[in-house]
């Protein structure tokens, strides 16, 4: 019986010693940060088309009609162009990006640098500009993530330019950096 009592005593002391033995192992904690980057939705939307309005020529002299590449869309002329009452406008593009993000705008004029009527007559696109910076502008998005860009141009008319509605598509590309 002594053998059983000693074995029982040994088992009891091992059970009591086990928790103390487990606490003898050291442990460490480390902290890390979970993070990610969420980008704003990027967009570029045409709000207003470029329209130099209604004009005519004096029949003798060539000339130009211009639209300022800004919010005023002011219209001007040279030579034999005569401005008639209408509602000329610069093209307006509203964009969205991350606050304070850099955006490079690149303007691509109409194919062949011409506007064309349904009859196939053409008006020359002498130049186009985004915000007066030429074909490329770099800007910084404002603190709320918005930006606006304006496109204007200079269009050449012959002295005997055929009557018609002239148009052509152009493109404004925004590259977000």
The domains of the chain are located at 43-176
- Burial code (b: 16+ CB inside 10 Å, e: under 16) for 96-123 equals bbbeebebebebebbeebbbbeeeeebb
Q: Kindly report the pTM of this predicted structure.
A: 0.78
Q: Mean pLDDT over all residues of the chain?
A: 90
Those residues whose C-beta lies under 8 Å from the C-beta of residue 162, and which sit 6 or more positions away, are 117, 119, 121
The position carrying tokens 């002299």 is: 61
Instruction: Please report, to the nearest 10 degrees, the dihedral formed by the alpha carbons of residues 138, 142, 148, 154 taken in order.
Output: -30
Q: Is the pLDDT of residue 35 over 90?
A: no
- Evaluate whether 129 touches 152 at the Cβ level (below 8 Å): yes
State how far the Cα of 127 lies from the Cα of 131, in Å rounded to an integer. 13
pLDDT at 170 exceeding the cut of 80:
yes
Q: Domain 43-176 is in which class?
A: mainly beta
Please compute the mean of the pLDDT values over residues 55-84 and round it to a whole number. 98
Average pLDDT over residues 98-113: 96
Give the containing element (helix H, strand E) for 14: helix 2-22
Quickly state the pLDDT bin for 159 (edges 50, 70, 90): very high
- Using CA atoms, how far apart are residues 137 and 44, in angstroms rounded to an integer? 14
- Separation between Cα atoms, residue 147 and residue 95, nearest integer Å: 5
Per-residue pLDDT, 23: 64
Q: Is the pLDDT of residue 16 over 80?
A: no
Q: Which 3 state secondary structure label does DSSP give 55?
A: strand
């Amino acid at each position: 019986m002594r053998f059983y009592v000693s074995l029982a005593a040994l088992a009891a002391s091992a059970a009591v010693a086990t928790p103390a033995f487990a606490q003898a192992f050291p442990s460490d904690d480390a902290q890390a940060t979970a993070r990610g980057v969420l980008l704003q939705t990027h967009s570029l939307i045409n709000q207003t088309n470029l329209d130099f309005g209604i004009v005519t020529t004096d029949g003798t002299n060539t000339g130009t009609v211009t639209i300022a590449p800004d919010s005023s869309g002011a219209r001007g002329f040279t030579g034999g162009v005569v401005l008639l009452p209408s509602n000329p406008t610069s093209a307006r593009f509203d964009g969205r990006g991350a606050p304070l993000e850099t955006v490079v705008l690149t303007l691509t004029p109409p194919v062949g640098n011409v506007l064309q009527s349904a009859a196939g007559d053409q008006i020359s696109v002498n130049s186009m500009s985004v915000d007066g910076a030429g074909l490329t502008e770099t800007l910084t998005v404002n603190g709320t993530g918005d930006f606006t860009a304006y496109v204007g141009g200079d269009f050449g008319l012959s002295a005997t330019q055929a009557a018609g509605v002239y148009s052509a598509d152009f493109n404004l590309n925004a590259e977000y950096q």
